[in-house]
């Protein structure tokens, strides 16, 4: 094909946000060597119909549909099969592409500096936009540790398609399904980290990771999936990864008001990796749990 880039968008309901996402992308894609693939994962709000109508006007848009909701992992695998560009990027159906974001991606592709570009974004927090600098110039092991610490949690990954297509997403994961994919990419030899904002990752009540039941069930499985895919020299990071994940789950349980579960997750974090006690986030959460329990007495 003549496409330099495929933008891959999995969508499931949240039609209002999906429309805003497409509105941020389509004006920039007109007349450029860009292919947009959309997979509707069994929506009930008309996402497929809306995207299909757009594809009639825009021949660079390709739309596929799952008759029932199969999960975002399956949707991402379907999208990988549809990708036609030399490079590809996954774009969530609630993200917003910044002005000139697409132009800058195409410039990176033309530069041929790397096969994996880690692009920074703004993270919406309430009414504010937050921007944190990604670590650069680290060894592969240090990059993986930074990744496991959440230092790249806001990243978009612009990836050479033949590299991305070697990966298959776990169909069982509905939360953090992209963590194993991103963890593998962080270790790619021809990687370039770009500390400029390309998009806005939005914060809103419909965001799936705010539904803790989903998160609790899948978060640990995603760590397991990642380390099954990593070479032996990186397995030493597995206890650390589990502990960081349990710490994150503890925070979510605390915010949900489930203090017993939060305390249990903290205990599991220590069992996995006793050095987690040196993490300031561990002590902050432990103090908050203690204080809340104290107030209840």
In a domain, 214, yes or no: no
pLDDT at 215: 77
Going by their DSSP bridges, the two strands 34-41 and 116-125 should be labelled as unpaired
179-220 per-position pLDDT tens digit: 999 999 999 989 999 999 999 999 865 554 455 566 787 899
Going by their DSSP bridges, the two strands 156-160 and 116-125 should be labelled as antiparallel
Which residue from 143, 241, 149, 236 is spatially nearest to 189, judged by alpha carbons? 143
Question: What is the count of structural domains for the chain?
Answer: 2
177 and 241 in a single domain? The answer is no
Q: Which residues pair with 191 in a beta bridge?
A: 116
Share of the chain above pLDDT 70, in %: 96
182 and 84 in a single domain? The answer is yes
pLDDT at 216: 81
Compare 218 and 17 and report the one with higher pLDDT: 17
Cβ distance 119 to 112 under 8 Å? no
pLDDT at 211: 52
In a domain, 217, yes or no: no
51-100 per-position pLDDT tens digit: 999 999 999 999 999 999 999 999 999 999 999 999 999 999 999 999 99
130 and 262 in a single domain? The answer is no
Which residue from 58, 115, 121 is spatially nearest to 87, judged by alpha carbons? 115
In a domain, 93, yes or no: yes
14 and 122 in a single domain? The answer is yes
202 and 240 in a single domain? The answer is no
Q: Domain of 80: which CATH number? A: 3.90.550.10
The domain containing residue 122 runs over which residues? 5-208
In a domain, 220, yes or no: no
In a domain, 213, yes or no: no
In a domain, 221, yes or no: no
83 and 181 in a single domain? The answer is yes
Which residue from 78, 9, 2, 70 is spatially nearest to 41, judged by alpha carbons? 70
109-146 per-position pLDDT tens digit: 999 999 999 999 999 988 899 999 999 978 899 999 99
191 and 237 in a single domain? The answer is no
pLDDT at 206: 54
147 and 199 in a single domain? The answer is yes
Judged against a pLDDT cut of 70, whether residue 222 lies above it is answered with yes
58 and 164 in a single domain? The answer is yes
- The whole-chain average pLDDT of the chain stands at 94
pLDDT at 137: 79
């Amino acid at each position: 094909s003549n496409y330099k880039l495929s933008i891959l968008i999995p969508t499931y309901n949240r039609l209002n946000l999906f429309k805003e996402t497409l509105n941020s992308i389509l004006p920039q894609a007109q007349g450029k060597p860009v292919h947009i693939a959309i997979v509707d994962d069994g929506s009930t709000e008309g996402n497929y119909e809306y995207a299909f109508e757009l594809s009639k006007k825009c021949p660079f848009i390709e739309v596929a549909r799952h008759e029932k909701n199969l999960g975002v992992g399956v949707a991402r695998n379907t999208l990988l099969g549809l990708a036609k560009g030399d490079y590809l990027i996954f774009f969530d159906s609630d993200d917003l592409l910044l002005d000139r974001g697409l132009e800058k991606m195409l410039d990176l592709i033309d530069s041929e500096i790397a096969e994996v570009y880690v692009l920074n974004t703004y993270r919406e927090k309430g009414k504010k936009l937050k921007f944190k600098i990604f670590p650069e110039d680290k060894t592969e092991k240090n990059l993986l540790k930074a990744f496991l610490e959440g230092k790249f949690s806001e990243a978009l990954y612009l990836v050479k398609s033949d590299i991305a297509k070697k990966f298959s997403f776990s169909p069982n994961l509905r939360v953090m399904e992209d963590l194993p994919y991103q963890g593998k990419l962080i270790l790619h030899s021809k990687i370039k980290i770009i500390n400029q904002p390309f998009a806005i990752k939005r914060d809103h009540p419909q965001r799936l990771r705010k539904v803790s039941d989903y998160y609790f069930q899948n978060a640990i499985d995603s760590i397991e999936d990642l380390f099954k895919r990593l070479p032996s020299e990186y397995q030493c990071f597995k206890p650390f990864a589990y502990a960081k994940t349990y710490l994150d789950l503890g925070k979510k349980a605390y915010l949900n008001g489930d203090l017993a579960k939060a305390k249990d997750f903290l205990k599991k974090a220590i069992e996995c990796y006793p050095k987690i006690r040196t993490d300031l986030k561990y002590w902050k959460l432990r103090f908050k749990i203690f204080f809340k329990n104290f107030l209840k007495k």
